[in-house]
Amino acid sequence: MANHDSVGAVVENTATHFRRLDGLINNAGDMLGRVPTEDSSETHDREVVDLNSLSVVWACRAAIPWMKREGGVIINTSSIAARHGGGGGAVLYAAAKGFVSTFTKGFAKEVIKYGVRVNAVSPGVIKTRFHERHSNEEQMKAMVATVPMGRAGTPDDCVGTYLFLASDVMSGYVTGQTIEVNGGQFMI
């Protein structure tokens, strides 16, 4: 689970090693089990929120002193669940990812004065260990059935969006945005 001091230490140790910090990608996340809200415990609630929401805040806070020097890029990872409320037992996860999308917009406004751009990627149904742990075959089929492209995505399907947002040449005038990568499952 996420720990404030550990998150800060990872950022600080990395920046110290390289003597700078050009970019930060906040990609940690998990629903920590499909637990209906009525069955959730305070411990589970805090673990989900710390991992999916507060770890983003903590990492960003640790990065900004370094990025104030020369600017930089922060890319947060949200989720399609933030848009539709999540599936069964994933409501708290969805809400935590909604926090990430909203935090991305607000934080982008706060730090652009330092030359720091903040954006987010919002993956849809992506074949990762996340779904291996939390979605059975029937759930996966039901989710994929709602994707106009007719398939679940892969991590490689997301890479280009992260690279685009990391590049000042390609996205130097983009900040505060959440880009959906979901095969058309959710269109804005």
Nearest in space to 140 (alpha carbons), one of 93, 87, 94: 87
Catalytic residue chosen out of the listed positions 93, 114, 162, 173: 93
> What's phi and psi for 178, nearest 5 deg?
-120, 115
Is 129 within 8 Å of 166 (Cβ atoms)?
no
- Three-state secondary-structure class, residue 18: helix
Residue 17 CA to residue 11 CA, distance in Å, equals 10
- The verdict on whether 93 is a catalytic residue reads yes
- In 46-100, at which residue ranges do the beta strands (DSSP E only) sit? 72-77
Classify the phi-psi angles of 76: left when phi > 0, otherwise alpha if psi is within -120 to 50, otherwise beta.
Answer: beta
Catalytic residues: 93
